[in-house]
A and B are shown apart, each in its own frame.
Chain A
Amino acid sequence: MIKLLEARGVGKRFGGLTALSDVSLTINKGEVYGLIGPNGAGKTTFFNVLTGAYIPDDGEFVFNGTELPTGKPHLVVQQGIARTFQNIRLFGQLTALENVMAGHHIRTKAGLWGILMQSKHAIEEERLTTERAFELLKYVGIERFAHTICKSLSYGDQRRLEIARALASEPQLLALDEPAAGMNATETGQLKVLIEQIRHDGITVLLIEHDVKLVMGLCDRVAVLDFGKKIAEDVPAVVQKNEAVISAYLGGPKHAH
């Protein structure tokens, strides 16, 4: 097994509140890795420090053998990590297609001069971007809304669109923050198929999810956070029976949807 991402003793505090403390974990290439825990356990915060939205107070991330820069989201994406948001964050005035095209930004190079002069290279790149974006819409199954302003898409479709946008940056690791939140059973089923497809296509997935069934069905391994600490890490079946995990969930609010 090849290590893709390694978190080493990551810590993050907000004033007096410790959102993450000494979290270490390793994600291997090609797996679906689950990150679960009660509300406020620090899962989203883990994403935020990983992707450079926040600067961690301690520890570091090693990705593909090199240390990730902190606090520089665009460089993290460049390295091959893409994310979605728990509370959907699309570009409201753009169509679905344009959202995905924007996601491809980092993999394109046309400069100001090329764009203003409409150089051959710029035109060709623009065409490729458009086609690739459309392919990705097909991939997540919403190509019929390609030219719809993203705000008017249904909730579930917006979530897929966010995934497509993230995929457009050609990541090796895709970090999904509660992709099934607010979805009905059918939509969740389709999402499961999509994530399996993504894994099949060679992209490693880091998944935050409250939907126990989804996590158990999809993940190769699961880590559990509670009050910012990792309290367990194993295959789903074992984690499910872990005493500490059970009491963490019983102690906090329940989440089985």
Chain B
Amino acid sequence: MNELIEAVPYLGKRNPRLTKWLIIILALVAPLIAAYFGRSWMRILDFALLYMMLALGLNLVVGFAGLLDLGYIAFYAVGAYTWAFLASPHFGVHMPFWIVLPLGAAFAALAGIILGFPVLRLRGDYLAIVTLGFGEIVRIFMNNLNHPVNITNGPQGINALDSLNLFGWNLSQSLTIGDFKIHYLYLYYYFFLLCVIGSIVFIKRLQISRVGRAWAAMRDDELAAKAIGINVRNMKLLAFSLGATFGGVAGGLFGSFQGFVSPESFSLMESIAVLTMVVFGGMGNIAGAIVGALALTALPEILRNIALPVQEALFGTVILDPEVLRMLLLSLAMILMMLLRPAGLVPAHARYSRPELLKGGA
């Protein structure tokens, strides 16, 4: 939270308390504001929260532990497909969320460990390529495992996934209290918001702990980390599997929200997009992941709404379609950020200790 407050320009340093309340209020009323601009913006907001979870998870792997994972979206896919297998008409299984979501997280963590065991000895850049390969392999399997036995339904994907049902309360049905009707997009928003806040709390606790320091140590100097007794392999595995867990949970939520999964949602470009969010916000700090995810989910949409009419007006046709715009934006963000501001948009110093624990105050 403090990092996020500091990240707010100008006001953050002058009046942290006010900033804090502003952030909280903004988080609460955001969907109302979005609704003013239309339903699609509410969906975008919900997606921004999912991306935040992904960025938080990937930040743990890349930013804290220093492992460049280019196949992160595979864990998202594992979570989403777990939901699709266990809560949809595809196999006719309809398990409740409190089984499917943890299972998805567990499968994702398992996938992280399976991938991690052999590859974590590799140097940073090799690791990047091998994880990229892993992501592609997962996607190839999703695309082709519809034959000889139909497991994933191939490129068509799986439809009609169960929506999130919190102990009898179905989040995809609008809630009616008296005359008041709350649209389901709000319900998802607040539920996702809770999940993001939960993630932040957990990750913050990890960051300021022996584990977080061990990650930072091996990221900054692996050899020295070994020399102070850190079991580097175990710590990397832990980072990998925990990061994957976040991906898995986010994937399950994605499945329930979208109601539909297909391999297309888990392309390499998505891994890169999440990585860009982490890089854009600032590797290794939580506020960075949040800001990066928010900015890079919203920006393409804003561009879409501005650039398309402008192009229509200027050239009479659309030259850069939204997908191209998004790619252009992401790739430029990645390059320019590295060249001009490698610490990210929110170059907060991530802290790994709580100085207030010192008796004397120091």
Q: Which residues of A contact B (CB under 8 A)?
A: 51-53, 73-74, 77-78, 82-83, 85, 89-95, 97-98, 101-106, 108, 110, 112, 115-116, 118, 122, 125-127, 129-131, 133-134, 143, 146-147, 149, 165-166, 168-169
**Shortest beta-carbon distance, A83 to chain B, in Å?**
6
Residues of chain B with a CB closer than 8 A to A51's CB:
227
In the complex, are the beta carbons of A130 and B354 less than 8 A apart?
A: yes
Please provide the chain B residues from 219 to 239 with a CB less than 8 Å away from any CB of chain A in the complex: 219-221, 223-232, 238
Q: Which of B216, B225, B357 contacts A93 (CB 8 A)?
A: B216
A83 to B357, CA, bound (A): 28
Residues of chain A with a CB closer than 8 A to B349's CB:
93, 149
Q: Which of B206, B209, B213, B226 contacts A94 (CB 8 A)?
A: B213
**Shortest beta-carbon distance, A140 to chain B, in Å?**
15
**Shortest beta-carbon distance, B220 to chain A, in Å?**
4
Q: Does B214 contact A (CB under 8 A)?
A: yes
Q: Which of B213, B214, B229, B354 contacts A73 (CB 8 A)?
A: B229
| Interface core residue of B224, B352, B359 (most chain A CB under 10 Å) | B224
In the complex, are the beta carbons of B223 and A116 less than 8 A apart?
A: no
Q: Which of B221, B229, B353 contacts A89 (CB 8 A)?
A: B221
Residues of chain A with a CB closer than 8 A to B232's CB:
74
In the complex, are the beta carbons of B221 and A74 less than 8 A apart?
A: no
Q: Which of B217, B228, B353 contacts A95 (CB 8 A)?
A: B353
In the complex, are the beta carbons of B205 and A94 less than 8 A apart?
A: no
Q: Does B92 contact A (CB under 8 A)?
A: no
In the complex, are the beta carbons of A98 and B213 less than 8 A apart?
A: yes
In the complex, are the beta carbons of A91 and B229 less than 8 A apart?
A: no
> A98-B213, A105-B210, A130-B358 are known contacts. Are A91 and B238 too (CB-CB below 8 A)?
no
Residues of chain A with a CB closer than 8 A to B281's CB:
none
In the complex, are the beta carbons of B227 and A105 less than 8 A apart?
A: no
> A89-B223, A131-B359, A169-B228 are known contacts. Are A97 and B353 too (CB-CB below 8 A)?
yes
Q: Which of A73, A77, A85, A147 contacts B355 (CB 8 A)?
A: A147
Closest to B206 in A: A115
**Shortest beta-carbon distance, A60 to chain B, in Å?**
20
> A127-B357, A146-B362 are known contacts. Are A94 and B352 too (CB-CB below 8 A)?
yes
Interface CB pairs A-B, < 8 A, 27 = A53-B227, A73-B226, A74-B231, A74-B232, A77-B227, A77-B228, A82-B227, A91-B220, A91-B221, A92-B220, A93-B216, A93-B350, A94-B213, A94-B217, A94-B352, A98-B213, A98-B351, A101-B352, A105-B214, A108-B210, A110-B210, A116-B202, A116-B206, A126-B209, A129-B210, A147-B362, A165-B228
Q: Other than the known A52-B226, A106-B229, what 17 A-B pairs have Cβ atoms closer than 8 Å?
A: A73-B226, A74-B229, A77-B229, A82-B228, A90-B224, A93-B219, A93-B220, A93-B284, A93-B349, A93-B350, A94-B213, A98-B213, A102-B216, A115-B210, A125-B210, A129-B210, A131-B357
Closest to A129 in B: B210
Q: Does B329 contact A (CB under 8 A)?
A: no
Q: Does B119 contact A (CB under 8 A)?
A: no
A115 to B201, CA, bound (A): 11
In the complex, are the beta carbons of A115 and B228 less than 8 A apart?
A: no
Residues of chain B with a CB closer than 8 A to A105's CB:
210, 213-214, 217, 228-230
**Shortest beta-carbon distance, A148 to chain B, in Å?**
11
Q: Which of B211, B351, B362 contacts A112 (CB 8 A)?
A: B211
Q: Which residues of B contact A (CB under 8 A)?
A: 202, 205-206, 208-211, 213-214, 216-217, 219-221, 223-232, 238, 284, 349-355, 357-359, 362
Residues of chain A with a CB closer than 8 A to B230's CB:
74, 102, 105-106
**Shortest beta-carbon distance, A30 to chain B, in Å?**
23
In the complex, are the beta carbons of A106 and B228 less than 8 A apart?
A: yes
**Shortest beta-carbon distance, A171 to chain B, in Å?**
10
Main secondary structure of the interface of A (DSSP, over half): helix
Residues of chain A with a CB closer than 8 A to B358's CB:
130-131, 134
A78 to B353, CA, bound (A): 23
**Shortest beta-carbon distance, B225 to chain A, in Å?**
8
Residues of chain B with a CB closer than 8 A to A169's CB:
228-229
A101 to B216, CA, bound (A): 12
A82 to B228, CA, bound (A): 7
A169 to B227, CA, bound (A): 10
Closest to A146 in B: B362
A222 to B146, CA, bound (A): 72
Residues of chain A with a CB closer than 8 A to B216's CB:
91, 93-94, 98, 102
Residues of chain A with a CB closer than 8 A to B208's CB:
126
Q: Which 7 A-B pairs have the closest CB atoms?
A: A77-B229, A106-B229, A89-B224, A73-B226, A91-B220, A130-B357, A102-B213
**Shortest beta-carbon distance, B288 to chain A, in Å?**
13
**Shortest beta-carbon distance, A55 to chain B, in Å?**
13
**Shortest beta-carbon distance, B351 to chain A, in Å?**
8
> A93-B216, A93-B284, A97-B353 are known contacts. Are A115 and B229 too (CB-CB below 8 A)?
no
A69 to B217, CA, bound (A): 23
In the complex, are the beta carbons of B211 and A115 less than 8 A apart?
A: yes
Residues of chain A with a CB closer than 8 A to B214's CB:
102, 105
In the complex, are the beta carbons of B362 and A143 less than 8 A apart?
A: yes
Residues of chain A with a CB closer than 8 A to B213's CB:
94, 98, 101-102, 105
A73 to B221, CA, bound (A): 14
| Interface core residue of B217, B226, B232 (most chain A CB under 10 Å) | B217
| Interface core residue of B206, B221, B224, B227 (most chain A CB under 10 Å) | B227
